[in-house]
Amino acid sequence: MWSIDSDALERLAIGAGILGTGGGGNPYLGKVHAREHVRRGARIVVIGLAAVPDDARVISVGGMGSPTVGIERLPQGDECLRAVRALERHLGESFTHLIPGEIGGANAMEPLIVAAQTGLPVIDADGMGRAFPELQMDTFVIYGARPTPAAFADPFGQTMVLDGIADARTLERYARAATIQMGGAAGGAFPPLTGTEVKHTAVPGTISLAAAIGAAVLDARSSLADPIAAVLQVSGGVRLFTGKVVDVVRRMEGGFARGVVTMVGTGDDASIELRLDVQNENLIARTGDGRVLAVVPDLICVVDAETAEPITTEVLRYGLRVAVLGIPAPALLKTPRALAVVGPAAFGYGDVPYVPLSGAYGVGGGPA
Domains and CATH numbers, the chain: 2-204 (3.40.1610.10), 237-347 (2.40.390)
Share of the chain above pLDDT 90, in %: 85
How do residues 262-318 score in pLDDT, each as one tens digit?
999 999 999 999 999 998 899 999 999 999 999 999 999 999 999 999 999 888 999
Length of the chain in residues, anyone? 368
Q: Is the pLDDT of residue 178 over 50?
A: yes
Q: Is the pLDDT of residue 255 over 80?
A: no
Residues facing residue 63 across a β-bridge? 187
For residue 74, what pLDDT band results from cuts at 50, 70 and 90?
Answer: confident
Distance CA 240, CA 262 (A): 14
Which has the higher per-residue pLDDT, 367 or 50? 50
Q: At what angle do helices 27-39 and 110-118 cross, to 10 degrees?
A: 20
Distance CA 39, CA 35 (A): 6
- Residue 132, amino acid: F
Does this model's pTM top 0.85? yes
State the pairing for strand pair 97-100/57-65: parallel
Q: Is the pLDDT of residue 184 over 90?
A: no
